[in-house]
Structure 1
Amino acid sequence: MMPAASLEAAEAEARAVTPRGVEAPREPATPAPAQPSPPAALERLAAATVALPTLDAQAYEPCVVELLFGLLCDVAQRRQPLVARALRGEPLPPDVPRAVWRRALQAQGIWFQLLSVAEQSTAMRRRREIEIESGYARLSASFARVVADAAAAGVSAEEVREVLRHLKIRPVITAHPTEAKRVTVLEIHRRIYRKLMDLESPRWTPRERRALVAQLGNEIELLWMSGELRREKPTVAQEVAWGLHFFGETLFEAVPTLFERLEDALHQFYPGEPFEIPRFFQFGSWIGGDRDGNPFVNNDVTRATLYENRLACLKRYRQRLVDLAQTLSITAEALPVPDAFASELARALAQSGDGAAIAARNPGEVFRQYLTCMLRKLDATLADAQRRGTLTPVPGGYASADELAAELRAMEQALLACGSDALAAAYVRPLRREVETFRFSTVQLDLRENTTVTNKTLLALWRARARPGSEPPDPQSEGWKSWLLAELTRPLGQDRRHGHETNADTLPEVEAETLQIFSMVRTMREQVDRNAFGAFILSMTHHATDVLGVYLLAKEAGLFSDAGGVESCTLPIVPLLETIDDLRRAPDILRELLAVPMVKRSIRAQGGVLEIMIGYSDSNKDGGFFASNWELSKAQTKIARVGRELGITISFFHGRGGSVSRGGVPAGRAIAALPAGSVNGRFRVTEQGEVVSHKYANRGTAQYHVELLASSVLEHTFKSDREDELLPRGDFDDAMEALAGASRAAYVKLVERPELIAYFQAASPLEELSMLNMGSRPARRFGARSLHDLRAIPWVFAWSQNRHALTGWYGVGSALSAFLAVRQARGLDLLRRMFNESRLFRLIVDEVEKTLAQVDLDIARGYASLVPDAQVRETIFAQIDAEYRLTVETVLKVSGGATLAERFPQFRERLARRLPAINQVSRQQIELLRRYRAADADQERRGYLVPLLLSINCIASGFGATG
């Protein structure tokens, strides 16, 4: 296999190579310079938008789709007419140049992206229609509906206040490599979305409408001319910038609005009741802190990430203060200010060192004077942040975000005291809530590492202190546990207190770096923000000793509350349970951990809540879709029960991905299907790759998704002990256990076949995915070539590319068939009752059915033809073919449907728009893979590389997900 060549080199050499049998060996003609759209075409497209403002969402979507398609075809016709023919579904001549095929793939990918933008626009329009016709409380994802239902169900105001006191929701943006689109492309998408919103207005004249359509065409032309593929693998710094992009565009604004909407709903349905809205919604991040298998994330990178996160919010606050100073032109003559604020202003002017000049510049305008003082302090804070903690701090800045928030609150209280409640709520309170939410760190950065690495560091620490020649105990032995407990209870000596550097000096380089992670936490909390870090996530936690070992590393670095390092740890340590076996061991792991007094003291000191992360990706790779979902549900129930027994509140962190196979199901339904008592107002979830851009790229969709997440958590908390659908059912649980066991057995029977890895590598673009340059980290954790070490993302991504998609359905048919064979008619009756009454079972069946609709066995057979060993090819494919047909038959029997996904008309309509083109690209990808792999010379192979990667991008865009 050729090493991943740079795309730039591949493009440079591509002209010299022509795929045999695909296109003629000739150079493409230089395209003519772009000409403006013909006036007639522009008039026609502009005229097509006239009815947009009056159409309902059902009629609106096809009109917008037609408009965007017309504009894309117009660009293609001017730039490369043969590509326009391909877009319209016309066959291309057999001798077209290779460059045309490349452009056709790119154009098809652009069309899939435009379809997604159109569908987001339609969804937003549909939500507005519901609100206009029936009121805000009729929107399923709104606080208004959830609070109205709670009030109607008799939930008292005091019960609501109790829930609010514990409410804590934190989506966590990760750098998992599942985003195939560049930030440049995302920005164009957002501008197209906004242009579509503009076109919905009826106020435009024909001339103005033509101009808007022309601008929309310009954006599509920019998409045409923007490279879809990254030239090089992104750096972690670029991933950090990608993540912060969404805060600047939508999220800084979305969260304060979220608080306001909850406040409004509570006042509407609990009139006269006082409520304090806590800072319940924050964002976390793994970007720059996730080292698990990523050699490019080190302590220097994490420090740089924290500084960038700090700068992002400080720059935002500065602009907001400038805007506020321009707005609040209130004079003391028009609005006499309270004595308390007058004193606060006098203090601020005196501390500024230039009080007289500030007062003279804005005579009588007390709020502008106060804001000028605040701006000076913030500028000093910004200057200090830009120095990245390397020099003496700039004097006169804010000591913390709390100080800035307090000054904003003083201004807000002054306006309220003067009777200007509306001004306080409209202008000052949103900024105060921004500061309280995003603080001086924008996000809470989690650190993540694998047990393999932390245990190696502990072994090195043991050897550094042991007698020469002695060997450490096995990390799974009682001797190892005894050593850990002894070290955790032994007070630190003077030379080891406060993370003294000699702790790391005695260790090898890699192990020293791991230990210094914890020292960095201590120093960066002081330099950035006390809440700059979220938690330390321990991947692949198998035993309680794995977690105790991390506590010991934190102790060695001085991250305990006392100098001796025996009281409590100040950094939450979160075990990540990923495999099915680990999920099953969870109650025992938890009991063993909580038997250690230091652990219980640490949890109490951190707020009395122990966070447990559960992994959807590896559990799926481990046991298949059905078994994974059931084991995750069971684990949450059992862990929460152990927590109640031992007097510790458990909070779950859900490690979901973008695809269905990795937990990427509709957020509202996913939360509603969680076990009773497993949420209790606390919820963390990962947001990865294309999920982030889909949810947060546009203001309207971002606002919708944060409210959907928060209202779903609130609803589950209100209804957890009241709804029959969430209460345990013995007959349902027994059936789920039987189905999960049979499903896992069928899945394991396939994936543990020795020849499956050879089939998978040949019958999918698994190895070629690494050249797509989506993320900074490798596809395998430790460079191994086994299925075990392959990350879940490429596992899912490759199966979706080759149209098998088996990670979202395989084993379900065997399970349902075996269940029905034993229980006959009674079994079918039970399954149908579960389908109607069990949220978890219904969610599983629905998502399996939608995944099956995306499978194409004819195309999958084409990918299988790439497997050189005929026996392996035929045996494996026959097994997949048989399971697919059995799954379709049994799922439809349970759901009562005649065809796949018939109860999801919007899903079917959107899939139908895409499938013909996806199928065409899939067939082209099969041929490209065949020729790429068969080519002898590197130069010839590079000629296939760019179109092959474009085909991967195109299929990912078509389905709207990668891994």
Structure 2
Amino acid sequence: MTTQDKDAPLRDDIRMLGRLLGDTIREQQGEATFDLIERIRQTSVRFRRDEDHSAKRELEGLLDALSREQTIQVVRGFSYFSHLANIAEDQHHIRRSRYHLRMRSAPRQGSLARAMDDALERGLAPSDLAGFFDTAMISPVLTAHPTEVQRRSILNAQMRIARQLDDRDRIELTPEEMSLSEEEIRRAVLTLWQTRMLRPVRPSVVDEVSMGLSYFDITFLRQLPKLYATIEEQLSERDPSLANVELPAFMKIGSWIGGDRDGNPFVTADVLRQTLELQAGVVLDYYLDEVLTLSTRLSLADGLVSVSDAVRELAERSSDASRQRVDEPYRRAMTGIYERLAATYHALLGVPPQRTVRLDAEPYPGPAALLEDLDIIHRSLVANGSATLARGKLRLLRRAVKIFGFHLAPVDLRQNSDVHERVVAELLAVAGREADYLALDEDARVALLLDEIATPRPLVSPHVKYAEQTESELAIFRAARESHLRFGPEAIANFIISKTDSVSDLLELALLMKEAGILRPHENALDGNIIPLFETIEDLANAPRIMDALFSLPQYMQLLDGARGRTQEVMLGYSDSNKDGGFMTSGWSLYKAEIGLVELFARHDVRLRLFHGRGGSVGRGGGPSYQAITAQPGGAVQGQIRLTEQGEVIAAKYDNPEVGFRNLEVIVAATMEATLLSGNAPAPREEFLDTMQTLSDDAFAAYRGLVYETEGFEKYFWESTVISEISELNIGSRPASRKKGQRIEDLRAIPWVFSWAQCRLMLPGWYGFGTAARKFVEAHPEDGLERLRQMNREWSFFAALLSNMDMVLAKTDLAIASRYAGLVKDAALREQIFGRIQAEWHETVNMLLAIMEQEELLDGNPLLKRSIRNRFPYLDPLNHVQVELLRRHREKPEDERLRLGIHISINGTAAGLRNSG
């Protein structure tokens, strides 16, 4: 089948969706508006595909002449087309995956089947594969960030469209059914057009929590148990003796939403409690629905099937006394389980569930007790010839209880080390223990903190009124302890310290945990992981040294041994290291830090679990998850990994259940490969490591020279991008900057990257590489280029860096970026800085193509190349309109309609780029 044939259904879907959108615009806004949008579309396609410069001038003339109201309708039209194109592409991925499965094609890279087969081919036994899961711990962690520009209402309408496209693929519809399907899509498109694209006010943290929880309803609660079942089936196929293996709960979904306090003053103890209650409500509602369904399905009659005594006992506990069901013990047992669950819901949340039989049943003390009752049903079915029934919905529910418990997802708590430091300093001073903690050197701090952690005596007095920040932090830790008692220790299992640069940063957190009863020295108990986050280039370099000093403290190692299974988690920050040192140096610093940590942890006999703080975009450490995990240094994964899923990437990965399943599968497959097969991969050659250091040094100098050392760069950035407008946009509860002002150092990494993506420069994802590569080749005229090509062919880390850069550069557009540069009022500054950026872009593209041995960008990724070719003619007009809107808005900042148009254009551009922040 040719590529053309493969893509025909995708083109058909895009044409159909575009036609329905056009019809909607014509009906709702009139023929003139439709004709205007269509003319802009055709002119943009001509310019993009044929490089017709007269079309470029015509396009700019059309857009510049738009009235304010016309502009908003044009922006809305092209924004919604981007969203519809995304739906069609997702469906095409599902379509192609199903085709390969039907054709029994060889397993694809990133699939579990491929990972298992590769392991077996390299000499591992099926038991080794099963053994991997015994100690594995894999956790994607959802975070709320201001690049998540979607509203739930918009996503709901998009899901209706996606379901219709999926049905049309799976079912051969009659002409009448096809017509009805198109009518349903038309209704959903009309709903989109008539739904406000943006929020009228900035969302609260609880709003963000609710948004995050929707992905559990859509994907995680159902697809994650299915993934476990799939793995078990695949193990059984490779070794029948593994047929009855049930995997431990090795993969769980985590969350920062409602617990990440770093720079977000709106995350309070009350918000944390609300978050945990909302999560518990979602998972308990799910269990209640599933148990109710099972009670209708398990209508097996006594006398027709054998029943265990334990099931009979469960049935007798039920209040179901109906004579019609007296001989249906399984159904009555499930009713009893439902009643206990309803009582549990009431006990934990203080309100009854919507459907309540009775609330006087005994609540479950914890998820293990619920699981035991479900296991009783399972064992009886299996023992009495009904194993097929046990392997259906009951199997998935039992698995869900193991994964999600009564808390749904562990909420990580994160705070900046500076805040912990100030809080501890006040506690010590008020208690009369140390008047000026902040003046102590590091050794004195460590000694003092160890003394305080070792004693059960509290520092905090209930009779003292502390500073507002101290009171807030203490309240958070108390709420965490309450959650452990209410929902179990897994509800809040991880405590993260941003900007960790010393051992005392970790001990300060330990002391605050002790004050709340989370660390109990007399029991040698620590009910949570103390996790340093190393973010800047300097912090990453110091990470091994700091952890070595920490592991040299017997008191800390005693806690790690007794309470945490001698496993230590370390978080690595991709976003801030990139903003600090640029793409190349960030990637290299992360890699070196991992190597140093692997060696250090092995020396101390501590198991390392890395938490990768990746973003959605390449400029924040994003890119394909499979390549990112398999490109880790040997020994860095060890079967355990956590990684953040941030911003709009959450919707892109998990808003469609099948796409979500595939993304979860990829993470597991990559972790398996990186763990089981990394020992077979040769270490990078010494000359590769030396070359990478040279490249990093030169790229760092180029990046820092532009961003931090060029006079006027901050002014250029704020005037040539949408950063000011993003700061105003109601798309996240967290401020864009840590402090007031325009310093790059204080700006959060997310809006930094997001702004460069909007103006189609993507600077954080490539700047500096061209200069570094050219210098290396010039310094090694005989073999420099060939050395870089060898590194690309033989070293997965370097290949992944180049592949990500290839993707980013393909999404850039200097012609469009030059229009944004035109917003800078100082002509000399504009020409100086944009000229440097333009020269570095050409240098980077030329060097990248030479090293990757490609004629054009994305030659090695035809799927993405096709996607960009399809969607960018519809994305370009949004950028052109956005520039004009910015120009007008900055002249008339009081015009709310202009502000609205800018914000809609930001939404549409983010949708078109997909991984922009």
TM bin, normalised by shorter chain, reads over 0.9
Distance 2:383 2:342 in 1: 29
Task: Answer yes or no: is 1:308 the counterpart of 2:275.
Answer: no
Out of 566, 579, 584, the position equivalent to 1:608 is 566
Partner of 2:56: none
Amino acid at match of 2:585: A
Amino acid at match of 2:514: K
Task: Answer yes or no: is 1:719 the counterpart of 2:677.
Answer: yes
Cα drift, residue 559 of structure 1 = 1.5
Amino acid at match of 2:661: Q
Out of 746, 752, 755, the position equivalent to 2:702 is 746
Q: Is the 8 A contact 2:154 2:197 kept in 1?
A: yes
Cα drift, residue 78 of structure 1 = 1.4
Partner of 1:128: 98
Distance 1:653 1:94 in 2: 47
Task: Answer yes or no: is 1:85 the counterpart of 2:49.
Answer: no
Out of 396, 402, 412, the position equivalent to 2:368 is 402
Helix, strand or coil at the partner of 1:788: helix
Aligned Cα root-mean-square deviation (Å) = 2.1
Distance 1:166 1:918 in 2: 46
Distance 1:426 1:568 in 2: 40
Out of 86, 89, 107, the position equivalent to 1:116 is 86
Out of 667, 688, 703, the position equivalent to 2:625 is 667
Partner of 1:796: 753
Partner of 2:530: 573
Amino acid at match of 2:229: E
Q: Is the 8 A contact 1:311 1:385 kept in 2?
A: no
Out of 49, 57, 60, the position equivalent to 2:9 is 60
- What pairs with 1:487-498 in structure 2 (closer than 5 Å)? 487-489=452-454, 491-493=455-457, 496=458
Amino acid at match of 2:488: D
Task: Answer yes or no: is 1:538 the counterpart of 2:497.
Answer: yes
Helix, strand or coil at the partner of 2:201: coil
Partner of 2:335: 372
Cα drift, residue 568 of structure 1 = 3.9
Helix, strand or coil at the partner of 2:680: coil
Cα drift, residue 347 of structure 1 = 5.4
Task: Answer yes or no: is 1:961 the counterpart of 2:910.
Answer: no
- Deviation per CA, 1:589-637: give whole Å up to 9, x if none: 1011111223212222122210000011001101111111111111111
Helix, strand or coil at the partner of 2:886: helix
- Deviation per CA, 1:850-881: give whole Å up to 9, x if none: 21222222222221222222222221112111
Amino acid at match of 1:867: V
TM-score, normalization: structure 1? 0.89
Helix, strand or coil at the partner of 2:612: strand
Q: Is the 8 A contact 2:261 2:415 kept in 1?
A: yes
Cα drift, residue 744 of structure 1 = 0.8
Cα drift, residue 903 of structure 1 = 2.4
Partner of 1:259: 228
Range that drifts further, 75-84 or 418-427: 75-84
Out of 14, 17, 23, the position equivalent to 1:74 is 23
Task: Answer yes or no: is 1:628 the counterpart of 2:586.
Answer: yes
Amino acid at match of 1:736: M
- Deviation per CA, 1:746-804: give whole Å up to 9, x if none: 10111112311111001111111022211111011243532111000010011111222
Q: Give unmatched runs, 5+ long, in structure 2.
A: 41-58, 353-358
Distance 1:394 1:671 in 2: 49
Amino acid at match of 2:35: R
Amino acid at match of 1:72: L
Out of 378, 381, 397, the position equivalent to 1:415 is 381
Helix, strand or coil at the partner of 1:402: helix
- What pairs with 1:872-911 in structure 2 (closer than 5 Å)? 872-911=829-868
Helix, strand or coil at the partner of 1:441: coil
Task: Answer yes or no: is 1:757 the counterpart of 2:714.
Answer: yes
- Deviation per CA, 1:828-847: give whole Å up to 9, x if none: 11111111111111111122
Q: Give unmatched runs, 5+ long, in structure 1.
A: 1-53
- Deviation per CA, 1:540-586: give whole Å up to 9, x if none: 11111111110011112221245x47x34222111111111101001
Partner of 1:785: 742
TM-score, normalization: structure 2? 0.93
Task: Answer yes or no: is 1:915 the counterpart of 2:872.
Answer: yes
Amino acid at match of 2:158: H
- What pairs with 1:305-384 in structure 2 (closer than 5 Å)? 305-338=275-308, 342-346=309-313, 349-350=316-317, 352=318, 354=319, 357-358=320-321, 360=323, 362-384=325-347
Amino acid at match of 1:210: S
Q: Is the 8 A contact 2:583 2:765 kept in 1?
A: yes
Partner of 2:786: 829
Amino acid at match of 1:477: E
Structure 1 pair 249–743 and aligned structure 2 pair: CA distance change class (3 A): same
Distance 2:824 2:865 in 1: 32
Out of 866, 881, 896, the position equivalent to 2:823 is 866
Cα drift, residue 647 of structure 1 = 0.8
Distance 2:910 2:4 in 1: 31
Helix, strand or coil at the partner of 1:381: helix
- Deviation per CA, 1:63-103: give whole Å up to 9, x if none: 11111111111111212223322442347598654222201
Distance 2:66 2:268 in 1: 48
Range that drifts further, 303-312 or 473-482: 473-482
Structure 1 pair 343–95 and aligned structure 2 pair: CA distance change class (3 A): closer
Q: Is the 8 A contact 1:401 1:529 kept in 2?
A: no
Distance 1:161 1:262 in 2: 9
- What pairs with 1:41-56 in structure 2 (closer than 5 Å)? none
Distance 1:56 1:259 in 2: 35
Cα drift, residue 504 of structure 1 = 8.2
Structure 1 pair 158–917 and aligned structure 2 pair: CA distance change class (3 A): closer
Distance 2:380 2:827 in 1: 80
Amino acid at match of 1:492: P
Amino acid at match of 1:742: D
Cα drift, residue 388 of structure 1 = 7.4
Distance 1:62 1:99 in 2: 31
Helix, strand or coil at the partner of 2:364: coil
Distance 1:504 1:759 in 2: 53
Helix, strand or coil at the partner of 2:493: strand
Amino acid at match of 2:770: G
- Deviation per CA, 1:130-184: give whole Å up to 9, x if none: 111125x613332222222222221024433432211111110111121111011
Partner of 2:45: none
Distance 1:149 1:480 in 2: 50
Task: Answer yes or no: is 1:529 the counterpart of 2:495.
Answer: no
Partner of 1:556: 515
Task: Answer yes or no: is 1:513 the counterpart of 2:472.
Answer: yes
Structure 1 pair 64–343 and aligned structure 2 pair: CA distance change class (3 A): closer
Instruction: Tell me how many residue pairs correspond in the alignment.
Output: 885
Task: Answer yes or no: is 1:650 the counterpart of 2:650.
Answer: no
Structure 1 pair 652–467 and aligned structure 2 pair: CA distance change class (3 A): closer
Q: Deviation above 6 Å: which 4+ runs of structure 1? A: none
Amino acid at match of 2:750: I
- What pairs with 1:918-957 in structure 2 (closer than 5 Å)? 918-935=875-892, 939=894, 941-957=895-911
Partner of 2:214: 245
Distance 1:139 1:128 in 2: 12
Distance 1:325 1:602 in 2: 45
Structure 1 pair 55–748 and aligned structure 2 pair: CA distance change class (3 A): closer
Distance 2:626 2:744 in 1: 33
Distance 2:390 2:801 in 1: 47
Distance 1:312 1:541 in 2: 34
Amino acid at match of 1:68: L
Cα drift, residue 278 of structure 1 = 1.0
Cα drift, residue 741 of structure 1 = 1.2
Distance 2:66 2:704 in 1: 46
Structure 1 pair 273–326 and aligned structure 2 pair: CA distance change class (3 A): closer
Partner of 2:54: none
Q: Is the 8 A contact 1:464 1:506 kept in 2?
A: no
Cα drift, residue 914 of structure 1 = 2.6
Cα drift, residue 472 of structure 1 = 2.8
Cα drift, residue 465 of structure 1 = 2.1
Cα drift, residue 889 of structure 1 = 1.4
Range that drifts further, 320-329 or 208-217: 208-217
